[in-house]
Amino acid sequence: MGLFNLFRRKNMSNEIQEYLAKGAVVLDVRTLAEWNEGHSEGAKHIVLTTIPLNVDEIKSWNKPVIAVCKSGGRSGQATQFLQNHGIDVINGGPWQNVDQYLVK
């Protein structure tokens, strides 16, 4: 198992598609520089380190959440934290995993 496979879960595509069908918000937790290099249209951007300060905002969306980042590590941390705060969230892994399913 390579380093990049460490964060990859088997066949997330079904779960991602199910969440998108439920109107999930894509939450990109990468840095501003990474976000500016490319991101999913319509995604919300909240840097991982500021997630604790933005829990109330995320809860106010009243929608399921798909957390994404560059490789899946930071979005995994965000997912665990948000789940512990009662938010329906999955780790979408790299943002391109979710981007491919968004209507363009």
| Residue pLDDT, tens place only, 32-81 | 999 999 999 999 999 999 999 999 999 999 999 999 999 999 999 999 99
Which tokens go with 9? 């879960």
CATH number at residue 37: 3.40.250.10
Q: How are strands ordered across the β-sheet holding 65-69?
A: 44-45, 25-28, 65-69, 89-94
Please give the tally of structural domains in the chain: 1
Average pLDDT over residues 78-94: 97
Contacts of 70 (CB under 8 A, 6+ apart): 30, 34, 94, 95
Structural domain range at position 29: 3-102
